[in-house]
Amino acid sequence: MRLPSGVVTVLAVVLHSGVGLAASPPSGQTLATPPKLPPGVSATLWGLSVPPGSEPTPEKVALGEKLFREKRLSVDNTVACMTCHEPELGFTDGKPLSEGVRQQKVTRNSPTVLNALFNATQFWDGRTGTLEDQAKLPILNPREMGMPDADAVVRKVRGIPEYVTEFRQVFGREVNYDDLAAAIAAFERTQYSGNARFDQFITGDSKALTASEKNGWALFNGKARCNSCHAGNAVSPLFSDQKFHNIGVAAHKQDFVTLARKGVQVVRTGDEKQIDELALNSEFSELGRFLVTKQENDVGSFKTPTLRNVGITGPYMHDGSLPTLWDVMDHYNKGGVANPYLDGGMQRLGLTEPEIDDLVAFLFALTDTKFDALNKEQLAKQRARKNTRPERDTAIAMGKKGNLGDLAPNPDLAVKNPADLGIYGDVTPVTTTQRK
């Protein structure tokens, strides 16, 4: 496949700027850029996403990975960061809701750590802006790792001789909570992921995607309107607009008006720790971004997640309530769940069953090829549940009941398959004759 020149220019920045860099620097030397980035992961974006002074060094990364896997960071030595973010499962736990110390359920699904370094904010409600702050909060959360405070964490780690030595080697001083979080964040900054079959397709291998997957991408950018929030382009190589939307998931089991009134009184008097606790409270958790901004129009809004590796990082949505990508497509096909705060972009889509199949096929093509085996396994499991889909409401999706607006334009594949046009489409200049 030959890509238009404009597409090639853009992709030169998005896809290739990190490929083929030098090998790891000597021990202890700061990395200005990672040693190598796969196609689909931008070195330019990496440089923008790593704060000066927070570049991962081999020693800091090694300590961070050890701490990431360390169950002694929890109050009863049973839970580590890895418990909810297993590397073998794409840094998720595969459960609808995660489980912390003493088998306590939380109310949010574990998002993947893969490419988390590129997130503008962390957590489903975006309540922190850095990986360091993200690393600190679950350790102190009573439902997750349950440590009472930062001083207790530091005392516990200082009581483990191997860490005393390693912190001195890496940071040149005694254990403290900031350095502990910095080490975990350094490890997470090495967990970038790209090189999906989609990346191979967009860089010129026309056979990397099947006909169904190509049609899925055309629908993704057209009738299905996925690119409204999940566009894949130079600005959004992770297929996320990094914004917060109420798509109706949080409203199907809550009275938002009553809940918001209760939440306003609590949130306006709370500090960061209280907000974190509220986010895991079974009732207030559904208020989402509102717990952070205290703005009523954020009620029920949650962050747009990346679609990279989406095939292996289910179940889906902030509450893990949708087991398969077919369920996700059903949710969007009927325009979400109506509520007073529903995002204005939500509307019925009118997708047919073959179109939903093609969209799901495309989404599974966004998984890094290093997870091929898991991707195939998850596709088979999800396909086996295809005929059990409680979210499906064909009558609403097709406009036979309800009132959720007109459909988005349907790409005319008989004229030109949008999948052949690259990310930005045809860049042929408009001629004077055409303008007339």
Q: Which of the residues are catalytic?
A: 144
How far apart (Å, rounded) are the C-alpha atoms in residues 91 and 420? 33
Residue 296 CB burial class (10 angstroms; 0-12, 13-18, ≥19)? middle
CB count, 10 Å around CB of 4? 17
How far apart (Å, rounded) are the C-alpha atoms in residues 151 and 294? 30
Residue 20 CB burial class (10 angstroms; 0-12, 13-18, ≥19)? exposed
How far apart (Å, rounded) are the C-alpha atoms in residues 195 and 404? 37
How open is the CA angle 226-298-308, to the nearest 5 degrees? 35
Among candidate residues 365, 360, 366, 362, the one with its CA nearest the CA of residue 389? 360
Q: Which string of b and e fits 402-421 if b means at least 16 CB within 10 Å?
A: eebeebbeebeeeeeebbbb
- What letter represents residue 292's amino acid? V
User: The tokens of 215 are what?
Assistant: 């049609």
- What letter represents residue 249's amino acid? V
How far apart (Å, rounded) are the C-alpha atoms in residues 14 and 10? 6
How far apart (Å, rounded) are the C-alpha atoms in residues 352 and 181? 47
Q: Is 97 left (phi over 0), alpha (psi -120 to 50) or beta?
A: beta
- Interhelix angle 161-171/177-188, rounded to 10 degrees, is 70
